[in-house]
Chains A and B, each alone.
Chain A
Amino acid sequence: MTALLATQPSIEPITLLTIQQLSIIPQEKVIISTLDLSLDEGDILGLVGASGCGKTTLLNAIAGFSEPSKGQIVIDGNLISDSEHSVPAEQRQVGMIFQDYALFPHLTVKENIAFGLGKLGKAEQLEQIDHLLTLLKLNDYRDSYIHQLSGGQQQRVAIARALAPKPKLLLLDEPFSNIDARLRNELMVEIRQLLKQFKMTAIFVTHNKDEVFTFADKMAVMAQGRLLQLDAPSIVCQQPNSYQVADFLQLGSWLPCQVNSASAQSLLGDFDIDNHRDKQTGLVYLLVKPSKLQLNVLVDEQHNIANAQVEHISVTEQGYHYYLSSLDDPAKDKSLAFSKLSLYSDVALSFKQQVVVSIKAHDFLFFNKVTNP
């Protein structure tokens, strides 16, 4: 997880996109529910969420391919959609890169890029096309047809075609899902640089959080048609605002705790907490990042009493990855039992081996578990 943080310019950012109270309820099924969102000019927003959460619908609403039931969308100061009227998609100056690229199979690379440039003169068109072909390293393929290109090249053409009419906002629908995993990171860095070079404001949709961490300045987490959190990726990573956000992004594993005014009780021991901020009591879940777990291999039963055992072992480039579960102890509270605590370690453990695990002191994050509402 590498977070590329854009250095914020010192001048006041201009808001390019404002979405207010947007709801999309086709045939009485809520797809988007009273959603607010705003995006500054030049920012890249990563929209992440499980499939069916409404992220693609949101993208389509901005582009003009979905009809909002309520709320309004403003781009660059122009109201493009509210309950009364809706600017046709072709007049919104919103570009889009489709998941399947939607390149025209009957046109060459050059003709594809020229498609949105009908309003320009021939000379201007050629200049713009040449510029983009060079920038995207497509000069050798200008007269090729789409089926003659590789997946990566097709994506470049899609980007060039979308950028050619100079849209105010660029939408990308799962742009990297068709790219070989080995090339993906390299390509993401390259395209990010390109968008920054064009000072392009962009929104891209993905279900892969790692893409957001690499590609976006801002990230928005969606679930069931609602926006759960909108922040810089580093902030979302460190301060997720809900169980759902942390769980979807797999920021750590969950340890059930019984919390009172000043301490928390768990099967990994009790620890003091500073409970003045959240004021949560009762059964809550502690977000445990692997780095906050301390492993002690059981040496002597007299001094250390085992509190977990190994349930699954996998090998990763960062050493061993274990899933730990709590031990069956009739004396302990059943609701505190855990089954899939993630632990990374260089120490080789065996299946069902009992260990002692403790939690390092840190700024504890407790959440109420949200089951599907």
Chain B
Amino acid sequence: MIALYNSKTWKLSSYLIALVLIVPVLVMLVGGVSASTQLFAHLWQTVLPSYIENTLLLAFWVVLLALFFGVFSAAIITQTNIVFKQQLRWLLLLPLAMPAYLVAYLYTDLFDYAGPVQRTLRATFGWQSPTDYWFFDIRTLPGAALMLALVLFPYIYMLTRGAFEQQDQNLIRASRLLGLTAKQSFFKVALPLARPAIAVSASLVLMETLADFATVQYFSVNTLTTAIYDTWLGYGDLGAANALASILMLLILFVVLAEQRSRAGLRHQSARPNLTRELIQLSFGQQLIASIFCWALVILGFLLPITLLIIMAVQYSDVAQLSVLFSTGLNSLKVSVFAATIAVVIALSLGLYQRLHKDKYRKIPQLISGFGYAVPGTVLAMAMLSTLGPLDHWINGLAEFLGFSAPGLILSGSLFAIVFALVVRFSAIANGTIASGIKQIPQSLDYAPATLGVNLIGSLTKVHLPILSPAILVAWLLVFVEAMKELPAVLLLRPFNFETLSSQIYQLISDEMLEQGALGAILIVLFGLLPIVLLNKSKEKV
């Protein structure tokens, strides 16, 4: 069957949207590549090698730790007989709601020399100074890796658990009938079958790590993201910042390509996932260890930090804080509502274009618009600055030429830049959700309206959009929450005196005064819980 519609306006606007979304990053890459070689040589001779080394080391440790946490917890939850499995099943997702920089701050507070843990130890054992005892230093690269892994491992846990649960139970049964024990079957059949899911989730963790800014900045671990930030805000050197951002972009590109290669040809789908599963029976001791492992992850990744935040909020909250919270919250809300709405409209337009338009290359606009998720916020901010800045100058020049007063930085110095960056970054989320919603509409429903004499507009308004409304709602919420949480892009792009919830909390963390913003931090965590609840719900429905 052919697609039904051939609207030229639709085609033009789809390609235009895709183009607008990708142009800033292209401009930045061109700027980065054409930055003076002298400058680059200077960077290479001084700081760049150590920045790259730190970035790669951090990525390595985070992925390793997150794999250890994620795969083991997923295996324990799906394959063994520990108690409280039903509760742990969703509790293990909660750390995802916790921004890594919050955990970093809270644990530093807790485990520092001046923190309660070391104070108590000193008081108990009568130690006088740091020379009397050894205590781990959390503000290091391994410390940052642990913080990131503690909140990122749920990606691996979630996808791996899903893979285990979707596996064809007859494969496991066949393995048992061929003489393997439940434990052997797990290692020989279930785990190898889950490899694609593990690879995908590990690459997600890797990308999030490469994009992290606040945690490493707080721990003074110099990586590429912090270098971009410092080069731009510290030295105002756009060319150098662009060059650094381009290197980070290449790293990300490498991850994306590697992930796609590892996935090629590895699809294990099952028609019989819901048969009752034969569990691996652990001994009491083993059960104890497995339970402690899972509970430790939940406690360290979520329960302890949120408790610390709540204690802070109870101790330090006052009316003045509430009013600041209200104004910054309103700013966050404004930015996020715009971003979510625009991203969803774009996703709908491009998703339906791909489904219904006759254009031979109709997949391309959606494909292009989804690349932004791989772009770290810092890089994206540089892209916006390199594109919108010159555009602003051009507009001002034009205005003066025409005899009007110069409007100022109306694009790069306003909410426009932030919203634009957020839309580029999170379009992929809206796209994915909307596209999977569209995929669930049987193809025959595209054709049925025409056989009843109803045209494209009627078909869209009476069939496609109403059927898609749950997907639209979920897509909107997911983008909204991500936009609320996004930090580096907002930090670099916000207009003077404009604070969002996340930027304000980051400022307070930098100034070691999170107590002042504990309520806001709790709010961010609560928003972060929203997509987890949604994801869990949609998983359970299946």
**CA A115 to CA B452, docked complex, whole Å:** 7
- When the two chains form their complex, are residues B454 and A115 in contact, meaning their CB atoms are under 8 A apart? yes
B277 contacts partner chain A, Cβ-Cβ < 8 Å: no
Determine whether A121 belongs to the interface, using a CB cutoff of 8 Å to chain B: no
B445-A90 in contact (CB<8A): no
Neighbouring A residues of B450 by C-beta, 8 Å: 63-65, 88-90
Interface residues of B in 356-387 (CB under 8 A from A): none
Tell me if B453 and A91 are in contact (CB < 8 A). Answer: yes
Identify A65's interface contact among B1, B452, B455, B466, CB under 8 A: B1
Point out the residues of chain B lying under 8 angstroms from A162, CB to CB: 451-452
Interface residues of B in 408-466 (CB under 8 A from A): 442, 444-445, 447-455, 458, 462-463, 466
Q: How many of chain A's residues have a CB under 8 angstroms from any CB in B?
A: 32
**Interface assignment of A320: CB less than 8 Å from any CB of chain B:** no
A202 smallest CB distance to B (angstroms) = 13
Instruction: Kindly state the separation between the CA atoms of A116 and B463 in the bound complex, as whole angstroms.
Output: 12
Closest chain A residue, CB of each to CB of B466: A106
Q: Which of the segments A94-102, A129-137, A203-211, A298-306 contacts the partner chain? A: A94-102
| B4 within 8 A of partner (CB) | yes
Interface of chain A residues 176 through 206 with chain B (CB within 8 A): none
User: For A105, what are the chain B residues with a Cβ–Cβ distance below 8 Å?
Assistant: 467
Q: Given the interface contacts A66-B1, A104-B463, does A116 sit within 8 Å of B447 by beta carbon?
A: no
* Distance between Cα atoms of A121 and B453 in the complex (Å): 16
Asked if B444 and A98 make an inter-chain contact with CB atoms under 8 angstroms apart, the answer reads yes
CB < 8 Å neighbour of A104 from B1, B445, B455: B445
Q: Which residue of A lies closest to B445 (CB)?
A: A102
Q: Which residues of B contact A102 (CB under 8 A)?
A: 442, 444-445, 447-448
In the complex, are the beta carbons of A89 and B1 less than 8 A apart?
Answer: no
Residues of A within 8 Å of B463, CB to CB, are: 104, 106
Total interface residues in chain B, CB < 8 Å: 20
- Contact between chains at B4 and A89 (CB < 8 Å): yes
Given the interface contacts A102-B442, A118-B458, does A65 sit within 8 Å of B448 by beta carbon? no
Q: Which residue of B2, B445, B448, B449 contacts A66 across the interface (Cβ within 8 Å)?
A: B2
| Contact A93 to B466, CB < 8 A, known contacts A100-B444, A102-B445 | no
CA distance A64 to B1 in the complex (A): 9
Residue in A closest to B467 when the chains form the complex, CB atoms: A106
Which residues in B have their C-beta under 8 angstroms from that of A100?
Answer: 442, 444
Mask for A53-83, Cβ within 8 A of B = 1, else 0?
A: 0000000100111110000000000000000
The answer to whether A94 and B451 touch (CB under 8 A), given A65-B4, A66-B2, is: yes
Closest partner residue, chain B, to A167 (CB atom): B451
* Chain B, interface SS category: helix
| Interface assignment of A110: CB less than 8 Å from any CB of chain B | no
Contact B445 A95 (CB under 8 A): no
* A contact residues around B442 at 8 Å (CB): 100, 102
Q: Does A49 touch B at the CB level, under 8 Å?
A: no
B456 to A: closest C-beta gap in Å:
9
Which A111-167 residues have a C-beta within 8 angstroms of B?
115-116, 118-119, 161-162, 164-165, 167
Whether B455 lies near A165 (C-beta < 8 A) is no
Q: Is the CB of B444 within 8 A of A99?
A: yes
Cβ B2 vs Cβ A96 within 8 A: no
Q: How far is the CA of A67 from the CA of B360 in the complex (A)?
A: 14
Chain A residues with CB under 8 Å of B454's CB are 90, 115-116, 118
The one of B4, B452, B455 in contact with A95, judged by C-beta atoms closer than 8 angstroms, is B452
Q: Is the CB of A119 within 8 A of B453?
A: yes
- Nearest CB in chain B to that of A65: its residue: B1
Which B residue's beta carbon lies closest to that of A104?
Answer: B463
The minimal Cβ–Cβ distance linking B489 to chain A, given in whole angstroms, is: 37
Assess A63 versus B453: contact at CB under 8 Å? Given A89-B4, A104-B463: no
Q: Which residue of A lies closest to B463 (CB)?
A: A104
A106 CA to B462 CA, complexed, in Å: 9
The chain B residue sitting closest to A162, CB to CB, is B451
* Alpha-carbon gap, A283 to B1, bound state (A): 42
Q: In the assembled complex, which residues on chain B have CB atoms less than 8 Å from the CB atom of A167?
A: 451
Asked whether, in the complex, the Cβ of B451 is within 8 Å of the Cβ of A60, the reply is no
The interface centre, meaning the residue of B2, B444, B452, B462 with most chain A CB atoms within 10 A of its CB, is B452
Choose one: B2, B451, B462; the contact of A67 (CB below 8 Å): B2
List 7 other contacts, CB 8 Å, given A90-B453, A106-B466: A65-B447, A90-B450, A104-B445, A104-B463, A105-B467, A162-B451, A164-B452
21 A-B residue pairs with Cβ-Cβ distance under 8 Å, sorted by A, are A65-B1, A65-B4, A65-B450, A89-B447, A89-B451, A90-B449, A90-B450, A90-B452, A90-B453, A91-B453, A93-B453, A95-B452, A96-B447, A98-B444, A98-B448, A102-B444, A102-B445, A116-B453, A119-B453, A161-B452, A167-B451
- B binding-site residues for A, Cβ under 8 Å: 1-2, 4, 442, 444-445, 447-455, 458, 462-463, 466-467
- For the complex of A and B, list the 8 residue pairs with the smallest distance between their C-beta atoms, beginning with the closest: A116-B452, A102-B444, A89-B450, A96-B451, A102-B448, A98-B444, A90-B450, A65-B1
